[in-house]
Structure 1
Amino acid sequence: MNKSQVAIKMTMEIVDTSQKDVTVIEETGQLFENEGKTVLKFSELNENKEQTNSLITIHPDKVSVKRSGAVSMLQQFQRKQKTENVYRHQFGTIHMETETDQILYQSPEAQRAGKLFISYQTSLNGEPPRRHRLTITVKKEN
């Protein structure tokens, strides 16, 4: 298994009929590469200085995002499939239903950043679904 220190930039876009909400997180983390599987591990602090640990496991046909700490969830992305999970945070829990449209992954190389792109729709607590785009760029640090 290959292990690298990486710079991570995670951009989350939520598109509603009338507005677009964009969140960007930049952290350093670790990238573990194995045959047929890549794992990205990093932590972030929220505005209250509470830590959330993220573990993103990338397979050719699916991606799982496990978060623990201030926020907890296990979200699965499988192309053209519906998945469900529960998102827990300081204000309570949210039931999420996700339908994944697209997963694209390009692993990082020495001089080129890697990129994970996921396009999906999520419905929170039975509300109408909203379109989401998650883009994570990963650049190996020397």
Structure 2
Amino acid sequence: MKSDKIPVLIRLETVISDDNGEERNSSSHTGMLRRVEHADVITYEEEYEGSMIRNLVTVKSASASIKRSGAVGMHQSFKPDGITENVYQHPHGSLHMETRTERFFHGKGPEGGKLEIAYTVRLNGQEERNHQLMFEYEKEADGE
């Protein structure tokens, strides 16, 4: 059945760069994949400053969105050659976020998929920062 949840291993890598340098982060998570018509929907949780954040990543062939709720909140959308806006909420306040997607790739197979996005973000009208996101998800081994 297409809507069954599949346990997946997730690897997330981000690079943020501007005139002041580069910041790299990588993390691994376990989550659930649900394959629905025309989309992969991945859910997972992560810890942020002692609180949990729930993540919902929806990936289609030509667009993606990341919705975070809990300690931080946002709904960031990625559309090739497009600009999207949202509000990023965190414990210290809210910021207006403008995202411009420059490069978008999604490949998927029977065991998972890979999402690569290059984009810029402008927070509260400040200088743009360059972002690269690599998000891989694959079915957990059954242990057989």
Q: TM-score, normalising length from structure 2? A: 0.91
Runs of at least 5 residues in structure 1 that lack an aligned partner in the other structure: none
For residues 60 and 117 of structure 1, what CA distance do their matches in structure 2 show?
Answer: 12
Runs of at least 5 residues in structure 2 that lack an aligned partner in the other structure: none
- 8 Å Cα contact 1:9/1:137 also seen in 2: yes
- 8 Å Cα contact 1:108/1:140 also seen in 2: no
1:103 deviates by 1.3
Equivalent residue, structure 1, for 2:63: 62
Equivalent residue, structure 1, for 2:27: 25
For residues 114 and 59 of structure 1, what CA distance do their matches in structure 2 show?
Answer: 11
Residue 117 in structure 1 maps to residue 137 in structure 2: no
For residues 6-85 of structure 1, what are the structure 2 equivalents within 5 Å?
6-48=8-50, 50-85=51-86
Deviation by residue 1:6-58 (Cα, 9 ceiling, x = unmatched): 0111111101124110121211000111221110100011232x000000111
Equivalent residue, structure 1, for 2:106: 105
Task: Please provide the CA RMSD for this pair.
Answer: 1.3
For residues 22 and 109 of structure 1, what CA distance do their matches in structure 2 show?
Answer: 29
1:27 partner amino acid: H
- 8 Å Cα contact 1:29/1:43 also seen in 2: yes
Tell me, what secondary structure is at the counterpart of 1:107? strand
Deviation by residue 1:53-97 (Cα, 9 ceiling, x = unmatched): 000111122111110000100111100011100000111111111
- Report how many residues are paired: 139
2:129 partner amino acid: R
For residues 71 and 38 of structure 1, what CA distance do their matches in structure 2 show?
Answer: 23
Q: TM-score, normalising length from structure 1? A: 0.92
The runs of at least 4 aligned residues of structure 1 exceeding 3 Å deviation read: none
1:116 partner amino acid: L
1:137 deviates by 1.1
1:108 deviates by 4.1
